[in-house]
Amino acid sequence: MPGNSTISTARKLDIAQLRSDFPILQTQVYGKPLVYLDNAATTQKPSAVIQAMNDYYTQYNSNIHRGVHYLSQKATAEYELVRKKVQGFINAEHLHEVIFTKGTTESINLVASCFGRKFLRPGNSIIVSAMEHHSNIVPWQMACEEHGAELRVAPMNEKGELLLEEFERMLDETVKLVSVTYVSNTLGTVNPVKEMIELAHGQGIPVLVDAAQAIQHMPVDVQELDADFLAFSGHKMYGPTGIGVLYGKEKWLQQIPPYQGGGDMIKTVTFEKTTYNDLPLKFEAGTPAIAEGIGLGAAIDYLQHLGMANIAETEAQLLAYTTEALQEVKGLRFIGEAESKAASISFLVGNTHPFDVGEILDKHGIAVRTGHHCTEPIMHYYGIPGTVRASLAFYNTTEEIDKLVAAIQKAAMLLS
Amino acid sequence: MTINARQDEIVEEFELFDDWMDKYEYIIQLGKELPLIDAKYKTDENLIKGCQSKVWLHTEMRDGLLHFSADSDALITKGLVSMVIQVLSGQKPKDIADAEIYFIDKIGLQSHLSPTRSNGLLSMLKQMKLYAVAYQAKSLQQ
| B117 chain-A contacts, CB cut-off 8 A | 355, 359
| Model confidence pLDDT, tens digit, residues A51-69 | 999 999 999 999 999 889 9
Mind telling me how many Å the CA of A409 is from chain B's nearest CA?
A: 14
Predicted confidence band of residue A4 (pLDDT cuts 50, 70, 90): very low
| A31 chain-B contacts, CB cut-off 8 A | none
- Radius of gyration (Cα) for chain B, nearest Å? 15
Mind telling me how many Å the CA of B68 is from chain A's nearest CA?
A: 23
> Would you say residue A44 has pLDDT above 70?
yes
**Taking residues B6-27, what's their average pLDDT?**
90
> Would you say residue B87 has pLDDT above 70?
yes
Of the candidates A130, A225, A223, A209, the residue with the CA atom closest to the CA atom of residue A177: A209
Residue that finishes a domain, picked among A261, A277, A305: A305
> Are A318 and A285 members of one domain?
no
**Taking residues A287-309, what's their average pLDDT?**
97
> Would you say residue B35 has pLDDT above 80?
no
The CATH number of whichever domain residue A354 belongs to comes to 3.90.1150.10
Residue that finishes a domain, picked among A278, A305, A332: A305
> Would you say residue A3 has pLDDT above 50?
no
> Are A385 and A240 members of one domain?
no
| Model confidence pLDDT, tens digit, residues A159-213 | 999 999 999 999 999 999 999 999 999 999 999 999 999 999 999 999 999 999 9
Predicted confidence band of residue B50 (pLDDT cuts 50, 70, 90): low
> Would you say residue A386 has pLDDT above 50?
yes
**Taking residues A8-30, what's their average pLDDT?**
87
Q: Quote the pLDDT of residue A11.
A: 60
> Are A76 and A17 members of one domain?
no
The domain defined by B3-141 folds into Sufe protein. Chain: A (3.90.1010)
- Catalytic one among B30, B51, B97, B128? B51
| A360 chain-B contacts, CB cut-off 8 A | 24, 76
Distance, in Å, from the CA atom of B142 to the CA atom of B133, rounded to the nearest integer, reads 14
Q: Which residue of B lies nearest to A385 if distances are taken between CA atoms?
A: B53
Higher pLDDT, A121 or B34: A121
> Are A258 and A368 members of one domain?
no
**Taking residues A263-288, what's their average pLDDT?**
92
- Spans of all domains in chain B: 3-141
**Beta carbons of A353 and B75 less than 8 Å apart:** yes
> Would you say residue A113 has pLDDT above 70?
yes
Distance, in Å, from the CA atom of A148 to the CA atom of A121, rounded to the nearest integer, reads 6
Give the best residue of A356, A360, A373, A379 to mutate against chain B (max B CB count within 10 A).
Answer: A356
**Beta carbons of B24 and A415 less than 8 Å apart:** no
> Are A295 and A362 members of one domain?
no
The helix (H) or strand (E) run that includes residue B56 is strand B55-62
B68 phi/psi in degrees, rounded to 5: -115, 145
The CATH number of whichever domain residue A112 belongs to comes to 3.40.640.10
> Are A94 and A113 members of one domain?
yes
ipTM: 0.82
- Catalytic one among A138, A163, A374, A379? A374
> Are A316 and A400 members of one domain?
yes
> Are A187 and A277 members of one domain?
yes
| B81 chain-A contacts, CB cut-off 8 A | none
**Beta carbons of A356 and B76 less than 8 Å apart:** yes
3-state secondary structure chain A: CCCCCCCCCCCCCCHHHHHCCCHHHHCEECCEECEECECCCCCCCCHHHHHHHHHHHHHCCCCCCCCCCHHHHHHHHHHHHHHHHHHHHHCCCCHHHEEEECCHHHHHHHHHHHHHHHHCCCCCEEEEECCCCHHHCHHHHHHHHHHCCEEEEECECCCCCECHHHHHHHCCCCEEEEEEECECCCCCEECCHHHHHHHHHHCCCCEEEECCCCCCCCCCCHHHHCCCEEEEECHHHCCCCCCEEEEECHHHHHHCCCCCCCHHHEEEECCCCEEECCCCHHHCCCCCCHHHHHHHHHHHHHHHHHCHHHHHHHHHHHHHHHHHHHCCCCCEEEECCCCCECCEEEEEECCCCHHHHHHHHHHCCEECEEECCCCHHHHHHHCCCCEEEEECCCCCCHHHHHHHHHHHHHHHHHHC
Strand partners of residue A369: A389
Q: Quote the pLDDT of residue B142.
A: 66
Q: Which residue of A lies nearest to B72 if distances are taken between CA atoms?
A: A353
Distance, in Å, from the CA atom of A415 to the CA atom of A101, rounded to the nearest integer, reads 43
> Are A291 and A312 members of one domain?
no
Predicted confidence band of residue B18 (pLDDT cuts 50, 70, 90): confident
> Would you say residue B124 has pLDDT above 90?
no
Number of domains in chain A: 2
Chain B residues 39-68 within an 8 A CB cutoff of chain A: 52-54
Residue that finishes a domain, picked among A271, A305, A339: A305
> Are A35 and A66 members of one domain?
no
Judging by beta carbons within 10 Å of its beta carbon (0-12, 13-18, 19+), is residue A270 exposed, middle or buried?
A: exposed
Predicted confidence band of residue A8 (pLDDT cuts 50, 70, 90): very low
Domain that holds residue A410: 5-46+307-415
Active site residue A144: no
> Are A179 and A67 members of one domain?
yes
Mind telling me how many Å the CA of A73 is from chain B's nearest CA?
A: 44
> Are A28 and A122 members of one domain?
no
